[in-house]
Amino acid sequence: MSRTTLSAHLIQFGVIAILGGAWYWSTATGSVSKLFLPEPAAVWLAFSHLITTGQFWSAVKVTLTTIAQAYAIALLAGIGVGYLVSRSRFLIDVLEPIIAGLFAIPITLFFPMFILFFGIGTGSKIAYGASYAFFPIALNTIAAFANAETHFLRAARSMGASQWDTFRHVLIPSALPVLLNGMRIGFFISFASVLGGETLSSVAGVGRNIALAAELMESARMYAWIAFVVLTAVMLNLLAGGLETRVSRGGDGAWR
Amino acid sequence: MNALAQPSGLNRVADRPVAISIRNVSQRYGHAGSPQSVLALDNVSLDIRRGEFVCLLGPSGCGKSTLLNIVGGLVAPSEGTVAVDGRRVRGEPLPQDVAFVFQESTLFPWYTILENFRIALKFQGVAKDERDARAMAALETVGMAGFARHHPTQLSVGMRQRVNMARSICVGTAILLMDEPFAALDEQTRMVLGEDLSILLAKTGKTIVFVTHSLAEAVFLSDRIAVMTARPGKIKTIVDVKEAHPRSPDFMLEPRFSDLRNELYAMLRDEIRLAMAAQRDPNAGEEASS
């Protein structure tokens, strides 16, 4: 470990320690109501209860399945549409601003509509997560394929590469870093939208449990569920980051 | 103007068969008559013989690169014909006969050096079991075999361009088209690579067409230098350089070298001024010539 990463880790650890200390101090001195912010020990108790009783399992299964479905739809539609648009300068000029413009609208505004169309089951959360994640994936796919460096394409053409060769050996590897970035953003947006949708209106899932605990004023339980989501997000982020470096490196050695 | 008529005296280049024949080639971008239309090349004719090193020298925007792209089949000419070994080129590359080296390294950064060579050979249709041996042989000729497993980004710009050159040689085409391959390099690296190229020419007998801005580079490398006018590009004159390949850097110290360089500069000076004026006013070049 070099000195810079060591000091970076120390600072990261310090920030977390300060936040934790502030939490402990504010609850211990009673300056914040326990109803709003219970002390760390109470949250830890609720959290271990969640884990040891296996209570979390059915909710997690619902949520993760919903996220997987929403993300799969967003990937297929986003990459498909993005690739087709990227094939023509005209289509990019016409459609890219529309897709970017729609992405600027908070899709949450349409959440009641999703409930009307798909009910309060997982359907509405899938639709919500998929339509939100579609935009960054499509936009990044357009950028990834449209900005493939022309001198590489020209070189491949001069070397007699067939269309399929060019696609496989030049276009895809050149697009991959930006494409993966879009996939990663899309994943976290579908993750956040599904959980958000569940807290707004649903019958099951992690988000539903958070909303329920809040309604019942069981704040320790609510924070335990939130802590669970945070841990899941951190783990998924590490996993995604690891996959991304692996794929970008194409086996051996980094190129970006 | 027509230097082909004069015997060059060196291996009797004039007696060798014509490798590239450029006949009355013009290139216009945009529709003729429209205000945006630009005539990039105006009725260019040139014969390049087998094993000859020809430089296209001219001011920026004179259409040298366009001419090279037309010869290599990356661009179809608006008018005129190009033939490589007697076969007409119609805007389709001829990967079996012609290889390109561009200014920017076109080594794919996502592959190692060896993989880059393999893929070039695969594109060209070389059998799988032959690829590695040919790749390594080409890397050895430029002294880069030790870097086969490296990624292009791990090499310096000069080393990358040397490997880039080796890749174009490895595909084994008789013709090499080089579009300012050393423009992005510092002068010292440029001199070393220029010397390498001269050795290579002597060894392989390839026909090379080389686009450059550099007068010294043109004199050092060429058998013939085609001096082009400002846009629309025409061949102003052809200058012979009678010096056998491989050339040593000592050639640059000879009075002959500086005489030729000065001669070229005198020819180019007015064209460079015209080209600069055209940059300020896109239509100036065309009006001045018509």
pLDDT at B4: 42
Average pLDDT value for residue range A36-53? 88
**Burial class of residue B10 (count of CB atoms within 10 Å of its CB; 0-12, 13-18, 19+):** middle
Q: CA B247 to CA B219: how far, in whole Å? A: 11
pLDDT over 70 percentage in chain A: 95
CATH class, domain A38-249, is: mainly alpha
Q: Residues 6 or more apart from B149 whose CB is under 8 A from it?
A: A252, B112, B113, B114
Residue B224: predicted pLDDT: 94
Q: Which tokens in the block code for residue A203?
A: 């019958």
**pLDDT-based confidence at residue A141 (cuts at 50, 70, 90):** very high
Write the CA distances from A87 to A84, A169, B9, B212, integer angstroms.
6, 17, 53, 34
Domain limits of chain B? Answer: 3-93+203-289
Is B109 within 8 Å of A256 when comparing Cβ atoms?
A: yes
With CB atoms and an 8 Å threshold, state whether A165 touches B112.
Answer: no
What is the structure's pLDDT at B20? 93
Residue B246, preceding bond cis, omega within 30 degrees?
A: yes
Q: What's the mean pLDDT in B174-180?
A: 93
Rounded Cα–Cα distance for residues B111 and B156 (Å): 16
The reported pLDDT for the residue numbered A248 is: 65
* Nearest-neighbour CA in chain B from A149: distance (Å): 10
Angle at which helix A219-249 crosses helix A206-215, to 10 degrees, equals: 160
Q: How far apart, in whole angstroms, are the C-alpha atoms of residue A161 and residue A171?
A: 12
Closest residue in A to B116 (Cα) is A169
pLDDT at B277: 81
C-alpha A61/C-alpha A49 separation (Å) is 18
- Which of B96, B106, B152 is nearest residue A151 as measured by Cβ atoms? B106
Q: Where are the domains of chain A?
A: 1-32, 38-249
Within an 8 Å CB–CB cutoff, is residue B184 touching chain A?
A: no
Residues of chain B contacting residue A247, judged by C-beta atoms under 8 Å apart: none
Q: What is the mean pLDDT of residues A60-71?
A: 94
- Residue B82: which pLDDT band, with cuts at 50, 70 and 90? very high
Give B153's contacts in chain A (Cβ within 8 Å).
Answer: 255
* ipTM surpasses cut 0.85: no
Looking at CA atoms only, how far is residue B256 from chain A in angstroms? Answer: 37
Distance CA B89, CA B144 (A): 34
Partner residue opposite B110 with nearest CB, options A156, A165, A255: A255
Neighboring chain A residues of B163 at a CB cutoff of 8 Å: none
What does the pLDDT look like over B192-241, one tens digit per residue?
888 888 888 888 889 999 999 889 999 999 999 999 988 888 898 999 99
Mean pLDDT, chain B, integer: 86
Long-range contacts of B274-282 (CB under 8 A, 24+ apart): B274/B59, B274/B229, B274/B230, B275/B59, B275/B60, B275/B61, B275/B62, B275/B230, B275/B231, B276/B59, B278/B61, B278/B230, B278/B231, B279/B60, B279/B61, B282/B38
Beta carbon pairs, A and B, within 8 Å: 64
The alpha-carbon gap from B150 to the nearest alpha carbon of chain A, in Å, equals 8
Those residues whose C-beta lies under 8 Å from the C-beta of residue B168, and which sit 6 or more positions away, are B99, B100, B101, B176
Does residue A69 carry a pLDDT above 90? yes
Which residues of A have a CB under 8 Å from any CB of B? 151-152, 154-162, 165, 169-170, 173-174, 176, 250, 252-256
Distance from CA of B224 to the nearest CA of A (A): 25
Dihedral sign computed on CA atoms, order B49, B50, B54, B60: positive
Answering whether pTM is above 0.80, one says no
CATH architecture of B3-93+203-289: 3-Layer(aba) Sandwich (3.40)
Query: A253, B154: Cβ pair inside 8 Å?
Result: yes
Q: Which two tokens stand for residue A173?
A: 């590897």
Candidates A159, A164, A166, partner chain B, best to mutate (most B CBs within 10 A): A159
SS3 call for A54: coil
Q: What are the start-end ranges of the H helices in chain A?
A: 3-28, 40-52, 56-86, 89-104, 111-118, 122-146, 150-158, 163-166, 172-200, 206-215, 219-249
Q: Residue with structure tokens 């799988």?
A: B128
What pLDDT score was predicted for residue B283? 57
Distance of residue B56 Cα from the nearest chain A Cα, in angstroms:
20
Diameter of chain B measured on Cα atoms: 57
* DSSP string of B220-272, one letter each residue: HH-SEEEEEPSSSB-EEEEEE---PSSPPGGGGGSHHHHHHHHHHHHHHHHHH
